[in-house]
DNA sequence: CCATGATCGAACCGATCGGTACGATCACGC
DNA sequence: GCGTGATCGTACCGATCGGTTCGATCATGG
């Protein structure tokens, strides 16, 4: 693995640290809820260092959101994959993973959807739209495996349920939301 | 009706104008996306006048969100009411109203949910939470009328579907989202 | 052992923000 | 016709924001 040349620390490691801390802080406090100066204080990095790795705050936001989207997508598809070939089991596994997420104390809703609600900038909305596309692909695949007559429609319905459950869990508490969402998802998959 | 005393214009009318314009601009551009000065320019009012009617920008935001919540809630319950007593017809009417909303060119998602995603302030989140409570009450009532064995659970599922459909319609376009949501809602209501 | 480059800390910049203050209008009720 | 009060336009305030710059530090590779 190529390592830093002629420098004290690995720049890639610094960049990863910035991304990780920014992901956490932006999620907890909102994209506009934390300034660059405070963010640098939390990360333990100077502004010059941050701006060496990211041209602008918006660029950092983009990178954070892209990373988040990849992680969440992988996490959900891993959950589906580990449930075996049965489509109902895959769907149940996805919503079980969601239920677990909802009950984490740091849960604050979907970072991508929240970001799109804050930054009306088209770049952010595009990232969020692609994020939903990935979820839709996963759910449509499950519907197709279940031999649904209209897998695309069912995938959309499951996507609505997923996003709605995330909203309701954030605003109304996670109590039974995960269970209800799971039940509804399986009903939508196996109906008709 | 008591009218303004010793003044040129009716202060209540001015206040209503501020509220109306602020509702529109905040919805289009986000709560933090428009400053007080620009807002006053759009409304056609001076800062002093605005601050005579609302102590602070946050107070204005609160009033806007409360008003919005009341309007949306009344709009949905009117749709249900005009559909007659049949619960399936009432639910269909609610989601028909949503579908119409989604295809309006000014549609930008739920203003309350968007606000909660922006302002993490507990006051805003409380308003949004109450807003979802009202929707939940409406949907649970429909489930109860339909003699669902677990109307509270079904109401929650329908609420998730409603909020999720709003998110997806905002991010993915309104194309068939309204239809799919309506179909899924009726399926959840009449299943088992 | 010295040049390199990543980093720090702090000062600094211009812009914008929410909010206030002031003098000038202007229409109504007394 | 005169005072009252709502309004306007503008200037202003302190704070914060995103972003830049600069001198100092320090570990490493040549």
Which of B110, B151, B180, B189 would you mutate first to test chain A, the one with the most A CBs within 10 A?
B180
Give, in Å, how far the C1' of D26 lies from the CA of A14. Answer: 16
Average pLDDT estimate for A102-113:
96
Structure-block tokens of residue B173 = 């376009």
Q: In Å, how far is A169's CA from the nearest CA of chain B?
A: 9
Average pLDDT estimate for A140-156:
96
Q: Mark out the alpha helices in chain B (DSSP H runs).
A: 11-29, 36-43, 47-53, 57-81, 87-102, 111-118, 122-145, 151-172, 177-190
Distance CA B28, CA B45 (A): 19
Q: How far apart are the first and last CA of chain A?
A: 54
pLDDT at A131 over 50: yes
Chain B residues with CB-CB distance to A109 below 8 A = 117
pLDDT at B161 over 60: yes
Average pLDDT estimate for B51-77:
96
Task: Please answer yes or no on whether B163 and A168 come within 8 Å at the CB atom.
Answer: yes
**Residue B61 at interface with chain A, using a CB cutoff of 8 Å:** no
Task: Please answer yes or no on whether A118 and B113 come within 8 Å at the CB atom.
Answer: no
* Burial degree of B34 (CB within 10 A; 0-12, 13-18, 19+): middle
DSSP single-letter state for residue A146: T
pLDDT at A122 over 80: yes
Instruction: Give this prediction's pTM.
Output: 0.92
Task: Tell if A11 CB is < 7 Å from nucleic strand C.
Answer: yes
Residues A183 and B192 sit within 8 Å (Cβ to Cβ): no
What is the band of B96 on the pLDDT scale with cuts at 50, 70, 90? very high
Which of B132, B157, B174 would you mutate first to test chain A, the one with the most A CBs within 10 A?
B157
B 71-90 residues with CB < 8 A to A: none
**Residue A150 at interface with chain B, using a CB cutoff of 8 Å:** no
Give, in Å, how far the C1' of C20 lies from the CA of B48. Answer: 9
Average pLDDT of chain A is: 92
Sequence-distant (6+) residues with CB within 8 A of B145 are B85, B87, B90
pLDDT at A87 over 70: yes
pLDDT at B15 over 80: yes
* Structure-token match 């963010």, residue found: A39
Say what the pLDDT of residue B186 is.
96
Task: Render pLDDT for A17-70 as a digit per residue (tens, 0 to 9).
Answer: 999 999 999 999 999 999 999 999 999 999 999 999 999 999 999 999 999 999
């Amino acid at each position: 693995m190529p390592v830093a040349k002629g420098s004290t620390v690995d720049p890639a490691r610094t960049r990863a640290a910035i991304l990780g801390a920014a992901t956490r802080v932006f999620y907890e406090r909102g994209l506009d809820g934390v300034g660059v100066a405070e963010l640098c204080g939390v990360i333990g990095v100077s502004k010059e260092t941050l701006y060496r790795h990211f041209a602008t705050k918006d660029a950092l936001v983009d990178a954070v959101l892209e990373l988040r989207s990849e992680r969440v997508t992988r996490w959900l598809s891993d959950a589906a994959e580990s449930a075996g070939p049965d489509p109902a089991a895959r769907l149940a596994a996805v919503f079980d993973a969601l239920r677990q997420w909802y009950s984490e104390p740091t849960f604050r809703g979907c970072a991508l959807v929240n970001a799109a609600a804050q930054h009306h900038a088209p770049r952010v909305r595009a990232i969020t739209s692609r994020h939903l596309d990935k979820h839709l692909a996963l759910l449509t695949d499950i519907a197709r495996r279940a031999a649904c007559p209209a897998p695309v429609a069912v995938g959309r319905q499951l996507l609505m349920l997923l996003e709605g459950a995330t909203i309701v869990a954030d605003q109304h508490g996670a109590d039974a939301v995960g269970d209800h969402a799971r039940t509804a998802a399986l009903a939508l998959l196996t109906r008709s």
